[in-house]
Amino acid sequence: MGKRYFGTDGIRGRVGEYPITAEFMLKLGWAVGRALQTKGFNRIVIGKDTRISGYMFESALEAGLSAAGVNIALLGPMPTPGIAYLTRTLRACAGIVVSASHNPYYDNGIKFFSRDGQKLPDDTEQHIEELLDQPFDTVGPDALGKAERIVDAAGRYIEFCKSTVPSWTSFASLKIVVDCAHGATYHIAPSVFSEMGATVIPVSVAPDGVNINQDCGSTKPAIMRETVLEQGADLGIAFDGDGDRVIMVDHRGDILDGDELMFIIARDRLRTGSRFNAVVGTLMTNLGLEIALRALGLDLHRVKVGDRYVMERLLAEKLILGGENSGHIICLDRTSTGDGIISALQVVTAMLQSGKSLHDLKAGMTKYPQTLINVSVTGEVDLQRPPIQEAIRAIESQLGEHGRVLLRPSGTEPVVRVMVEGPDGGTVERHARELAGVVREALSA
């Protein structure tokens, strides 16, 4: 059966529009409580980012969970990976994240972690959806769930982040700009890096409920870049609203995306003796990373776009590193989910132990130019139509082994994403525009 509410990353939408309403969240909290409580595990943690709607949804979920007889631990504003960590260490049966990640403030969503700090399996999500169709009932007054606030949640997570790098590591020689996107890392990330010894210049750390991700953070790194250049900093680090993505900038103002950061981490893991033979990326992972990894003796396993699919492959192949070019990086040898702060710590540690600047450290990988064009579509999308396939074959023939063509329908918008990648930017852009025109004409016909 298909799922009505759960997408690849929980439930997400515009606040006030079904199902992102207080009424639905009350029922959702009850369904989750019914589905996930087990003997010996009767507590669920709730954390959120800094959106104003988080207050409303946190309260609604709390009421639903209490009605189902589940105890609640409230974490307050907390990065998504911090909620995953505290779900494990507090021995909860699940963790709930109230966040829409990198989206604007008027969106919100719900994500879940199982007791081991990983995403819920499909069958559990299906069970929750089935319970949403059942009548809402309340346990007896003596069995209602109780709520408590975990007052030291931030401190616990800060200490965990620092524990993912060697204890003798000090960042005392570094000046670092840290952009928190007015989001969930605002009171966490600056402390992590300053306690590691760095001189920290925090930006976008004044959330007001509506400025999350607004012209800042990993999706809009211009402020971070400008501050690095103005302050003569060694590097900059930018997170998204819920802290599971990271983008960095070197001292010259060059931006490093998730692919470049994964290359740096992979090479450093090999240097320190980690044993693995592949890194997991997605269909959008830059060809330059694949070539650079090959030079290190590593394969690149590509999966569908979405951190859920990256995680599935990591677990299936017993690998330790994977991610997306958006900056969502999973270091499974350090934590259980994608974590922007922990990923950044691995990169900065690699800098210090190599004695190289971030700019020099990325030199082992050359990104190939990519052009991505979204073609609006209506109705059925058939990408196997002869004109489209003929155009793809013609472009692939010209690019040879040094280029890629990718067509895929978006999972969130009525568009087909047309991507062409190769060594020459002008050629790539020309091919992408040609192919987009063929797709537009073929599908409209």
- Answer for the pair 290, 391: CB distance below 8 angstroms, yes or no: no
Regarding predicted confidence, which is higher, 19 or 305? Answer: 19
Query: In the prediction, which pLDDT does 7 show?
Result: 84
Mean pLDDT over 276-291 rounds to 96
Predicted confidence (pLDDT) at residue 402 exceeds the cutoff of 90: no
Q: What is the DSSP string of 267-283?
A: HHHHHTT---SEEEEET
Confidence of residue 412 (pLDDT cuts 50, 70, 90): low
Hunting for tokens 């033979």 — which residue is that? Answer: 277
pLDDT in tens, 348-371: 999 999 999 999 999 989 999 999
Active site residue 343: no
Q: What's 367's DSSP letter?
A: P
d(CA 205, CA 441) in angstroms, rounded, equals 47
CA distance 111 to 8: 10
Percent of the chain with pLDDT over 70: 99
Residues of the chain with CATH 3.30.310.50: 370-444
CB 189 within 8 A of CB 359: no
- Determine contact, residues 102/219, Cβ cutoff 8 Å: yes
Residue 256 confidence (pLDDT):
98
Residue 1 has pLDDT above 60, yes or no: no
Instruction: Report whether pLDDT(144) > 60.
Output: yes
pLDDT digits (tens, 9 = 90+) for 225-258: 999 999 999 999 999 999 999 999 999 999 999 9
**Predicted pLDDT at 338:** 96
What is the topology classification, in CATH, of domain 166-253?
A: Alpha-D-Glucose-1,6-Bisphosphate; Chain A, domain 3 (3.40.120)
Instruction: Pick the catalytic residue from 101, 114, 218, 326.
Output: 101
The domain defined by 257-367 folds into: Alpha-D-Glucose-1,6-Bisphosphate; Chain A, domain 3 (3.40.120)
pLDDT for res 410: 79
CATH number, domain 11-151: 3.40.120.10
Is domain 370-444 in CATH 3.30.310.50, yes or no? yes
Run of H or E residues at 388: helix 386-399
* Separation of alpha carbons 190 and 92, rounded Å: 28
Residue 385: exposure state from Cβ atoms within 10 A (0-12, 13-18, ≥19)? middle
Burial of 236-245, coded b for 16+ CB within 10 Å and e otherwise, reads bbbbbbbbbb
CATH 3.40.120.10 in the chain: give the residue spans: 11-151, 166-253, 257-367
Q: Which value, in Å, is the radius of gyration of the alpha carbons in the chain?
A: 22
Q: Torsion angle of alpha carbons 426, 427, 430, 433, nearest 10°?
A: -100
Beta carbons within 10 angstroms of residue 232's beta carbon: 8
